[in-house]
Amino acid sequence: KQEVTQIPAALSVPEGENLVLNCSFTDSAIYNLQWFRQDPGKGLTSLLLIQSSQREQTSGRLNASLDKSSGRSTLYIAASQPGDSATYLCALPSGTYKYIFGTGTRLKVLA
């Protein structure tokens, strides 16, 4: 059974810092891994999808890496801004397309 852990649970940083969010999973036989952002009281916005054959995906200031052998993914946010404040969730399939979500990292970027 796939288990997904995200560390840290919460993070507060000053504006402009580069930061790394971590996602660990127990079953490395995955199709892909997806990072989401959730704003308070809102739905989920997909940020990046990494296929199992890829090691990295980049979108603007975001970079996600995937290391299947070690069961880890990281989301790197460069030059953080107050608008980046949200909860970040990683999700990966347990079996075919049955996505399991981590508990999330609540990020607060201080102006």
Closer residue to other proteins in complex, CB, 46/58: 46
Q: Where are the alpha helices (DSSP H) in 2-111?
A: none
For 17, half-sphere exposure in the C-beta direction (CA atoms, 13 angstrom radius) is 15
User: Where does this chain touch other proteins (CB under 8 A) — which range of 17-25, 64-72, 78-86, 88-96?
Assistant: 88-96
User: Where does this chain touch other proteins (CB under 8 A) — which range of 14-22, 65-73, 74-82, 94-102?
Assistant: 94-102
Q: Does 70 bind other proteins (CB under 8 A)?
A: no
Which residue, among 41, 45, 82, 48, has the nearest Cα to 62 in the 3D structure? 48
Q: Does 51 bind other proteins (CB under 8 A)?
A: yes
Whole-angstrom Cα distance, residue 3 to residue 25? 6
* Residue at token pair 């990966």: 92
Q: Does 40 bind other proteins (CB under 8 A)?
A: no
Q: Does 20 bind other proteins (CB under 8 A)?
A: no
